[in-house]
Amino acid sequence: MALNKVVQEDMKGLVDGLHFGQKVERSLRLIREAYEEFGDRLVVANSLGKDSVAVWHLAKQVSADIRGFIVTTRFKPKETVKFMHETVAEYPELRVFSSDEPVEDRLYETAPDRCCDILKVQPIRRAIEEMNVACWMTGLRCTEGRTRTDFQEVEERDEGLMKLNPILIWHEREVWQYLALHQVRVNPLYIEGYRSLGCEPCTRITTDSDERAGRWLGTSKCGGECGIHTRPLKGDFQI
């Protein structure tokens, strides 16, 4: 079945309606179908967080040839930068994109949306163009927080660019279950108590039940999105 013909189901019903093994099988099937349809133009967006690392591992079970990209910024924690270098050394098919554009001091406090646009959204847009991506794959999950409840497993937010969210219906604990069972290495920052990782100035450890509550804490963007899942990624684009 062509990926864009996948019947949209009740995602919330599936979150608790399927068990772990069924979810893993479903994720692998979605990736397999996407790979059959898009081949080399199916690319993983690997943020180096636990969810992306799980998706990367799933994709590699479908084909060792599946490529990926990482978007990094000058504000990533040193642990994440080290983890990135180690990951790229292991998987040279992962390309790294970033922006050298100057940003005002503390723009992440005064205008975090603009900061994310420059440092995250623009490089992702470049990755999609330069890698000739027809379908990108993410680790987005609908149980992560208030901003992530309405996504679908297969989406076409930008015309001509499919998006696959193969672990959309996984719980946080199921991601850890998968990573533990497959002994997948993760960013050591999780040991300290972080549940969602981003740039250093915009990421905190919290005890909030919302998994993304520590992102952009104290700003208008608290618990929100950097924009890669909400902003246009193809076509004419002004920030």
Binding interface with ligand SF4 (CB under 6 A): 73, 75, 108, 112, 115-116, 119-120, 198-199, 201-202, 226
Residues 6+ apart with CB under 8 A from 169: 11, 14, 15, 18, 23, 26, 141, 142, 143, 153
Q: Which residue lies nearer to ligand SF4 by CB, 75 or 91?
A: 75
Comparing every residue's Cβ against ligand SF4, the nearest one is 199
Out of 135, 142, 202, 226, the active site residue is 226
Strands 154-158 and 161-164: antiparallel
Tell me how far, at minimum, the Cβ of 211 lies from ligand SF4, in Å.
16
Q: Which residue lies nearer to ligand SF4 by CB, 63 or 219?
A: 219
Cα–Cα distance, 179 to 190 (Å, whole number)? 13
Tell me how far, at minimum, the Cβ of 231 lies from ligand SF4, in Å.
12
Tell me how far, at minimum, the Cβ of 99 lies from ligand SF4, in Å.
9
Q: Which residue lies nearer to ligand SF4 by CB, 65 or 104?
A: 104
Q: Which residue lies nearer to ligand SF4 by CB, 58 or 202?
A: 202
Active-site annotation holds for 226: yes
| DSSP E strand boundaries for the chain | 42-45, 67-71, 94-97, 135-137, 154-158, 161-164
Instruction: Convert 34-65 to b/e letters by CB count within 10 Å (16 or more is b).
Output: bbebbeebbbbbbbbbbbbbbbbebbbebeee
Catalytic residues: 226
